[in-house]
Amino acid sequence: MKNIFLTIAPLLFISSCSNKIMQSGTSYKETKIDLSTHNLTAYSIIHNTKYLMVFESGLGDNHTIWDKKSVAIKISSKSDVLLYDRAGYGKSKKGTAPRNIAKLSEELDSTINKFSNGRKVILVGHSLGGFIIRDYAIKNPAKIAGLLFIDPSHENFNRPSQTQENLITFLVGLKSVGSKMEAKQLIEDAQYMATLENLPNVPVIVLTSMKQDDTNINADKAYNKTRQDWYNAHELLNNGVTDFTHIQTTNSSHYIMNDEPNLIIESLNLLLSKLP
């Protein structure tokens, strides 16, 4: 089992999640969001700034991934922040199948509507979360102020075989029912994302990991791609966007927010500086 995990782990980009972090007396308010079939749990710091910053985690990660290095807490001094657990993660209840990108985007909308109070949002998405915020932004352009993609999944790179999807589903199923249900849709998700139009014309920043470490090298081998292919896929997010910043880093692996939290903070501050 250990050898199987080492082979497939680069396809997952999963890390363990820490407990909720509190720093300098700042803490999150926990809120239940009632949907028609289940409820989600959100964590927010709200002091009525102009924009609401919403963080979307990758496959297998709940909301705490954003504060393993206190990223969300630190930026909360500049913007209201909202974290949440998708269905089947953390305290959020199991959702209805299929847990595909369209469904996850729809539930993101319900979460945002609970807190935005008519404000535009800044969306931050890591890995599979990049798929989710991209779909949401395309469907809801009037609600978007800016976008930060952190080593996001892309259909030109992330195209698992059925065998790979089955292994991913089994392995992430050991973490949570939500991640297992999402993993079952990875092939269909890539096909779906390929049908989407361009992002709305708002400021967009993309961070791409180019580090030649075991995780990235093995991921390239698994998908029969290269780091340049990964960068080129992310570069396609530029289509139709006039204010596009693409930053590559050789100092971080896939979890840039853990390896270089200051780069995330700097990118969020840059994004905020671009907004009216």
Distance CA 180, CA 160 (A): 15
Tokens encoding 125: 């998405």
For the stretch 32-62, pLDDT in tens is 999 999 999 999 999 999 999 999 999 999 9
Taking the whole predicted model, whether its pTM rises above 0.85 is answered as yes
Q: Which residue did the predictor score with more confidence, 20 or 164? A: 164
Q: What is the mean pLDDT of residues 145-163?
A: 98
Q: Which residues lie closer than 8 Å to 30 by C-beta, 6 or more apart?
A: 41, 42, 43, 91
Flag whether 18 is in a domain.
no
Q: How confident is the model at residue 9 (pLDDT cuts 50, 70, 90)?
A: very low
Within a domain: 254:
yes
Q: Rounded to an integer, what distance in angstroms lies between the CA atom of residue 93 and that of residue 212? A: 38
Q: Residue 14: what pLDDT?
A: 40
Distances (CA, A) of 256 to 25, 43, 108, 210: 26, 22, 23, 11
23 lies in a domain?
Answer: no
Q: Which domain holds residue 80?
A: 2-11+28-273
Q: Across all residues in the chain, what is the average pLDDT?
A: 92
Q: What is the mean pLDDT of residues 96-118?
A: 98
35 part of a folded domain:
yes
Note if the bond before 200 is cis, omega within 30 degrees. Answer: no
Q: Pick from 143, 233, 155: which is nearest to 194 by CA? A: 155
First to last CA, the chain: 52
- 3-state SS assignment for residue 18: coil
Between CA 111 and CA 19 the distance in angstroms is 21
As a whole number of angstroms, the distance between CA 91 and CA 86 comes to: 9
pLDDT at 75 > cutoff 60: yes
CATH of the domain at 84: 3.40.50.1820
Domain count, the chain: 1
Task: Examine residue 171 and state whether it is found in any structural domain, yes or no.
Answer: yes
Is the Cβ–Cβ distance between 241 and 205 less than 8 Å?
no
With respect to residue 143, please indicate whether it lies within any of the assigned structural domains.
Answer: yes
Residue 16 lies in a domain: no
Does any domain span residue 134?
yes
Helix axes 2-12 and 214-223, enclosed angle (nearest 10)? 80
pLDDT single digits (tens) 248-276: 999 999 999 999 999 999 999 999 999 99
